[in-house]
Amino acid sequence: MSDVIDIVLPEGQLEGTSATLAAWLVKEGAVVKEGEPLAELETDKVVMEVCATHSGIIQSISANIGDDVAPEQVLGKLAVGASVAQEEPAKQTVTSEAGTDSDMAPMVDVSLNEDESARQFISPAVRRLLRENDLSIEPIPGTGKRGRVTRDDVINFLKNPQSRKVESAAKPEITPAGLPKSEPVSTASGESPFSFNDNRQSRPLQGEMVPHSQMRKSIASHMVESLLETSPHVTSVFEMDMTNIIEHRKWHKKEYEELGVKLTFTSYFLAAMAKAAEQVPQVNARFHEDALELFSDINIGVGTALGDSGLVVPVVEQVQDMNLFEISKRLNHMTNKARDGKLTPADMKNGTITISNHGVSGSLFATPIIINQPQVAILGVGKLEKRVVVREVNGVDTMVIKPMCYVSLSIDHRALDAHQTNLFLSHFVDVIEKWGE
């Protein structure tokens, strides 16, 4: 006998957010193991997987792709028990000896269909790797169940130079003039391929409609609400000399790596934000109509771009109680979860102030950076670049080259004024510029 249990999202995993069923990773009749992903749900911030709580066979699927999913909603049925354990090896036998047992023919069909279709089920982490490396999934061997391509499969493919040659062979090499290298520079009649063609006719615009994801819809709604309906935004910009933290990082980077932790500039920024917020607590707050709620914990949200998929903000909590190593370790953990598509709504709760390190993509400064409601401030750090600045050396104004960047604070002008804004930035810059002194 086998028992039938419900496939549901574990209680509390949505943390009050709404979710949409983005994809089924299995079909009815599929044999699954405990912990294997069954479906993907997309919330306004993350994509999460619903995993099998037991080994068994998918008896039925009741939720459709695109459906809104509520906590504890039944998505399907999973048959588990002693008889199920016996069915999996039988299925494998029939698959390898198709046609030897007519009673098992339906199971052969199910297995073949799953083998053919499993490659289309792509996890968020795999989708991101394909997009960032301009890859198609076709040439990548899949080692996952029923041929599904895993994140490790993509990474191994990227590490193999021969694989990359095969992938790029079909793409013609383009000259600076915009022509494929194999294309001749002149025609048989002697006419130059660069001659001007004035016979081209105007035509109606043609385009492709790419539906918004749930995350993109939510980002659009939150940005409009924050900027146009909730908070009057004002931004202040300071300059910052990065010399001391560059030097400090150079001496400690290897030491951190030996302990399995990557030391980034963002770790220093979080530490400096906590120090500055202790001096100016009004930035670490929430605005209410009758009061400003000042928080004792400094929980910093870290804006993390997911390429074309959008932006998420995992939160590093209680930064005021951490040293630089602890901040780095926790930051590594949260950003890795974000880029692997494994964040949960709980990972983005309780933020009290946010940082956008937009300089990593080349931006000098951005204004305003939209406040992550219901917070009252967001810090922006621009691109690090060497610039000529004037410093007093032995009493003489001297032009020197320094690693500089712009740092900004966008604030909710209902809660803060220029005084608190500039005081916070002054403390923040002072901590960074005097690091290690």
Write the pLDDT tens digit of every residue in 171-186.
555 555 455 555 455 5
Statement to judge: residues 301 and 249 lie in one domain: yes
At 235 the pLDDT is 95
Pairing of strands 304-305, 300-302: unpaired
Statement to judge: residues 253 and 385 lie in one domain: yes
- Give me the half-sphere count of Cα atoms (radius 13 Å) on the Cβ side of residue 313: 23
User: Which whole number is the average pLDDT over 265-286?
Assistant: 97
The answer to whether 310 touches 328, Cβ cutoff 8 Å, is no
Statement to judge: residues 369 and 418 lie in one domain: yes
Mean pLDDT over all residues of the chain? 81
If one counts the domains in the chain, the total is 3
Is 242 within the bounds of a domain?
Answer: yes
Q: How far is CA 411 from CA 51, 112, 233, 305, 353, in A?
A: 41, 58, 6, 22, 10
At 345 the pLDDT is 86
Statement to judge: residues 278 and 409 lie in one domain: yes
Which residues are known catalytic residues? 413, 417
Is 12 within the bounds of a domain?
Answer: yes
Is 179 within the bounds of a domain?
Answer: no
CA 284/CA 412 separation, integer angstroms: 12
Which of 104, 136, 169 is where one domain is finished? 169
Statement to judge: residues 39 and 165 lie in one domain: no
At 51 the pLDDT is 83
User: Which whole number is the average pLDDT over 39-59?
Assistant: 80
Statement to judge: residues 137 and 275 lie in one domain: no
At 358 the pLDDT is 92
Statement to judge: residues 258 and 224 lie in one domain: yes
- Res. 108 pLDDT band, cuts 50 70 90: very low
CA 191/CA 211 separation, integer angstroms: 45
pLDDT more than 90, % of the chain: 40
Contacts of 410 by beta carbon, 8 Å cutoff, 6+ apart:
233, 234, 235, 367, 368, 369, 370, 371, 377, 378, 380
Higher pLDDT, 105 or 217: 217
CA 87/CA 289 separation, integer angstroms: 62
Statement to judge: residues 58 and 86 lie in one domain: yes
Statement to judge: residues 310 and 269 lie in one domain: yes
Statement to judge: residues 82 and 147 lie in one domain: no
**Length of the chain as a residue count:** 437
Amino acid at 354: T
At 70 the pLDDT is 79
State the residue range of the domain holding 95.
Answer: 2-119
pLDDT more than 70, % of the chain: 77
Statement to judge: residues 66 and 159 lie in one domain: no
- Res. 103 pLDDT band, cuts 50 70 90: very low
Is 182 within the bounds of a domain?
Answer: no
Residue 343 has pLDDT above 50, yes or no: yes
Number of H helices, E strands in the chain: 10, 19
At 413 the pLDDT is 94
- In terms of average pLDDT, the best of 26-30, 192-196, 199-203 is 26-30
CA 295/CA 285 separation, integer angstroms: 6
User: Going along 157-230, which residue ranges are E strands?
Assistant: none
